[in-house]
Amino acid sequence: MTDKNFMRLALTEARQAYDEGEVPIGAVLIDEDGILICGEHNRIEQLNDATAHAEILALRAASHKLNCRRLSSCTLYSTVEPCAMCAGALVLCRVRRLVYGATDSKFGAAESLFNVTDNPALNHRLNVTAGVLEDECLALMKNFFANVRNK
């Protein structure tokens, strides 16, 4: 499968978040053989937990499933550029690669505001690919926030 195929899986998670009234961000974690380990979406409102971002939930689920805190053979696909918390967790989990759709000029920590994922002061760096299915990822976010403003 290709990056676009895996991003479509993350978009499916993001649409589920949208349907649940959550900010529509989805993430999937894929192993080095291209096997889906897990998929998650934002559950901040549902869990009343500001840390319940799709990326964090996916990292937790994968660590539990694999019984390992280091995910060094994995790629995380996220529909939106991870925030500083999520980017830091990707570094701590030693994720090999990050692929995301839309950049986030307000909170992004892979390139927009900060570059946590490739910071030379940290002991791990990720390979990052940005802009995969960006238009679709961005459209979902824009539609969600337009609906929120209209309510």
Predicted confidence pLDDT, tens digits, the chain (151 residues): 799 999 999 999 999 999 999 999 999 999 999 999 999 999 999 999 999 999 999 999 999 999 999 999 999 999 999 999 999 999 999 999 999 999 999 999 999 999 999 999 999 999 999 999 999 999 999 999 988 888 7
- List the structure tokens of 122: 């940290």
Strands 26-30 and 36-41: antiparallel
pTM, two decimals, is: 0.96
Q: Determine whether 55 is an active site residue.
A: yes
For residues 18 and 114, give the distance between their C-alpha atoms in angstroms, rounded to a whole number: 27
Active-site choice (55, 81, 134, 136): 55
